Amino acid sequence: MNGLPQPGLAALVLLPLAGCGLCWVLRAPKRILAVTWLASLLSALAAAPAVWACLHGRALQEAQGWLALDALSAFHLAVMYGVFILSSAYAQIYFDGGISSGELSLAQVRQFASLWLGSLAALTLTLVSNNLGMMWVGMEATTLLTAFLIIVRRSPDALEAMWKYLLICSVGIAFAFIGTLLVAASAKGLVQDPGQLLHWSRLMAAASGLNPKLLKAGFLFVLVGYGTKAGLAPMHSWLPDAHSQAPAPVSAVFSGCMLNAGLYCILRYGALCHALPQLADWSAGLLRLLGLLSISVAAVFILFQNDGKRLLAYSSVEHLGIIALGMGLGTPGIFAALFHTLNHALGKSVGFFCMGRLGQIYGTNDLRRLAGAARREPVWGNGLLLSLLAILGAAPFAVFLSEFLVLKAAVEAHRAVVVAVFLAGTCIIFISASRRVIAAAWGEPAAPARLPGPRAGLAATLLVALPLALLLCLGVWMPGPFRGALERCAAVLNGGR
C-alpha cells in the first residue's frame, strides 16, 4: 500500500467537491441549485454499498487506516445524506422566488451552492476519518464553510449571528484540538508508528494502557469543544441566532447533520473513556449532566418563544440534550439515542422546511402572526403542525418511541433525578410549543400574508409528507434489520462487546 488514498471512502469526500467545481461553470442559477441536489444524491448512491455493508457488521479501512467506516459512522453518514438530499431538494423551492424576482444574484447562488457542497464534503470527512486529527480538520472546515451560508442574504442580523457563530465555534474547535492533543499524549509509547498515533481504532485497541489522567483532561476539553458544535448547553449560545438567521435549508442541515456530527466526535472519545474502568462512569455522568442541562435550558427558553425558527432552534438544543443523555445511560440508552438521532433529523428538517416557507410567505417568523396558516397554505401549515407534534414527541411518531426508550433506560438504571428532569422538561416543552403551533396552524387569521406565492406543488407535498410518513412507520413498527443495525452501532461504542 502506498500513501495515496485509494478510491472508495476518499471518493465520497471528493465527489461533492467535483459538484462544487461544476457550480462555477454553470451560468443558470436554477441549474446550479439542481447540481447541489444531484451531487448530494450521487454521493449518497456512491456511499450506499459501503454504508449498507457496515450497517451489517463489516468495517472498512483504507489509506493506511486514515479513513475508516464502521456501523456507527455508517449510520451517521446515512442520516447526513438523507438530510442533505431532502434539504437540497427543498432549496430549489425555497430560493425559487428569490431567483425569479432577481433578488438573488448568480454570484450569491454560486456562493450558496459551492459552500453547501463544501460543507457536505467536510462533514463526510469528519465521519469517515479514523484519525482523530483528521476528524478535527473536517469539523473545523465545516465551521468555516457554514459560517458564510448564514449570510447568503446579507443583513445586520445575519452578520451578527454569523460573527457569534464563527467566534464561539472557533474557540470551541480550538478546545477540541487541545483535547485531541491531550489524548494523543495519553497514548504516548503505546502506538509504535507515530503516524498512526491518533488513529481511533489503534487507540481503542490499546485503550487499557492509556494514561487515565491525561485522557480525563482530554475528554473534558473535547466535551466542551465539540459540545459547542453540538449545541449542548451551556455552550449553545450561538445556536438560536445562527439557526434563526440562516436560510431555512441551511438551518435544516445545521440541526439535522452538523449538531449530530459534533456529538459523534464526542462519542468516539467517550468510547475511549468507556474502555477504562475508572473513567467509564465519570464520562457517562458528564454526558448525562450536559444532556439534562440542555433539556432544562431549552424548556426555559421555549416557554416564552414566539419566533418559530428560534423555537425550532431551542428544540434542537433539547433533542441533542436527549441524545447526549441517552448516550450516558449504557447500552439501552445508546440504542435509544441513536434511534432518536435519526428521528430528530427527519422531523426537524421538515419543521424548518415548513417554517422557512411560511416565513417567506408571511414575511415574519412570529408564530402569532401566522395564525390560520394551515387554511391558507395547507401543505406548509399542516406540515409545520405535524412535524412539530412529531418532534415534540406526540405518539405514534417515532420520536415518542425513542424518547420513551431513553426514559426506560433511565428508569432501569434507577436514575430518579434523570427521570424527573427529563419528564418535566419534555412536558413543559410539549405544552408551551404545541399550544403556539396549533394556534399558528388553525387559529383565527390575524394579519394578511405578504405575498400570495405559488401554491405548493407535488414536490413540496412529497418533501413534507415522506419524512413524516417514515417517522410514522418507524413509530409503529421497527424492522428487524434496522434494530440490528442500531445494535451494531451501540456495540462499536462498547469496544465491540
Partner 1 sequence: MSAWSELILILVILTNLLLVGGNRLTGLIRFAAVQGLLAGLLPLLVHSHAITARLIFLAALAVALKGVAFPLLLGRALREADIRREVEPFVGSELSTFLGISLLAFSFWLSEWLGIAQAGWLRLMLPVGFFTMMTGLFLIISRHKALTQVLGYLVMENGIFLLGVALVGEVPFIVELGVLLDAFVAVFVMGIAIHHINREFNHMDVHLMARLKE
Kindly list the distances between the CA atom of residue 69 and the CA atoms of 77, 243, 342, 467, in Å, as whole numbers in the listed order: 9, 30, 18, 26
CB 250 within 8 A of CB 258: no
| Binding residue (CB under 8 A) for partner 1 from 30, 31, 61, 163 | 163
Query: Cβ closer to partner 1: 141 or 409?
Result: 141
DSSP string, 250-279: HHHHIIIIIHHHHHHHHHHHHHHHHHSHHH
Query: Cβ closer to partner 1: 42 or 144?
Result: 144
- Please tell me whether residue 159 binds partner 1 under the rule CB under 8 A: yes
| Binding residue (CB under 8 A) for partner 1 from 48, 106, 167, 420 | 167
Per CB under 8 A, contacts with partner 1 among 386-445 are none
Locate 154 and state its grid cell.
446579507
Of the listed pieces 87-95, 187-195, 405-413, 476-484, which binds partner 1 according to CB under 8 A?
187-195
- Please tell me whether residue 151 binds partner 1 under the rule CB under 8 A: yes
Compute the distance between CA of residue 184 and CA of residue 104 in angstroms, rounded to an integer.
46
Query: Cβ closer to partner 1: 158 or 295?
Result: 158
Query: Cβ closer to partner 1: 114 or 131?
Result: 131
Number of neighbours of residue 414 by Cβ within 10 angstroms:
8
**What phi and psi, each to the nearest 5 degrees, are found at residue 355?**
-65, -40
Find the shortest distance in angstroms from Cβ 230 to partner 1: 19
3-state secondary structure labels for all residues of 173-229: HHHHHHHHHHHHHHCCCCCCCHHHCCEHHHHHHCHHHCCHHHHHHHHHHHHHHHHHH
Phi-psi region of 371 (alpha: psi -120 to 50; beta: other; left: phi over 0): beta
| Binding residue (CB under 8 A) for partner 1 from 161, 324, 437, 492 | 161
Find the shortest distance in angstroms from Cβ 204 to partner 1: 18
Binding characters for partner 1, 296-335, by CB under 8 A (x = yes): -----x--xx------------------------------
- Please tell me whether residue 144 binds partner 1 under the rule CB under 8 A: yes
Of the listed pieces 67-75, 127-135, 316-324, 388-396, which binds partner 1 according to CB under 8 A?
127-135
Q: Using CB under 8 A, count the residues that bind partner 1.
A: 48
CA atoms within 13 A on the CB side of 327: 33
Compute the distance between CA of residue 197 and CA of residue 203 in angstroms, rounded to an integer.
8
| Binding residue (CB under 8 A) for partner 1 from 57, 195, 209, 234 | 195
Find the shortest distance in angstroms from Cβ 155 to partner 1: 8
- Whether omega for the bond prior to residue 452 falls within 30 degrees of 0, making it cis, is no
Find the shortest distance in angstroms from Cβ 171 to partner 1: 6
- Please tell me whether residue 217 binds partner 1 under the rule CB under 8 A: yes
| Binding residue (CB under 8 A) for partner 1 from 11, 34, 42, 137 | 137
- Please tell me whether residue 131 binds partner 1 under the rule CB under 8 A: yes
| Binding residue (CB under 8 A) for partner 1 from 198, 355, 440, 471 | 198
Exposed/middle/buried for residue 137 (C-beta within 10 Å: 0-12, 13-18, 19+): middle
Query: Cβ closer to partner 1: 90 or 177?
Result: 177
- Please tell me whether residue 194 binds partner 1 under the rule CB under 8 A: yes
Find the shortest distance in angstroms from Cβ 58 to partner 1: 26
Query: Cβ closer to partner 1: 40 or 244?
Result: 244
- Please tell me whether residue 215 binds partner 1 under the rule CB under 8 A: no
Give the distance, in angstroms, between the CA of residue 134 and the centroid of all CA atoms in the same chain. Answer: 19
Whose cell is 423555537? That residue is 311
CB 134 within 8 A of CB 36: no
| Binding residue (CB under 8 A) for partner 1 from 49, 156, 448, 452 | 156
Phi-psi region of 246 (alpha: psi -120 to 50; beta: other; left: phi over 0): beta
- Please tell me whether residue 239 binds partner 1 under the rule CB under 8 A: no
Find the shortest distance in angstroms from Cβ 211 to partner 1: 8
The number of helices, as runs of H, and strands, as runs of E, in the chain is 20, 2
- Please tell me whether residue 245 binds partner 1 under the rule CB under 8 A: yes
- Please tell me whether residue 185 binds partner 1 under the rule CB under 8 A: yes
| Binding residue (CB under 8 A) for partner 1 from 157, 420, 424, 469 | 157
Whose cell is 426555559? That residue is 300
Mention every residue, 6+ apart, whose C-beta is less than 8 A from residue 399: 340, 343, 344, 347, 390, 391, 392, 393, 471, 475
Of the listed pieces 41-49, 78-86, 160-168, 362-370, which binds partner 1 according to CB under 8 A?
160-168
- Please tell me whether residue 162 binds partner 1 under the rule CB under 8 A: yes
Residue 68 DSSP code: E
| Binding residue (CB under 8 A) for partner 1 from 69, 128, 141, 374 | 141
Whose cell is 405575498? That residue is 451
Number of neighbours of residue 444 by Cβ within 10 angstroms:
7
Find the shortest distance in angstroms from Cβ 248 to partner 1: 17
List interacting residues with partner 1 (CB under 8 A).
131, 133-134, 136-137, 140-141, 144, 147-148, 151, 154-157, 159-164, 166-167, 170-171, 174, 177-178, 181-182, 184-185, 188, 194-198, 213-214, 217, 240-241, 244-245, 301, 304-305
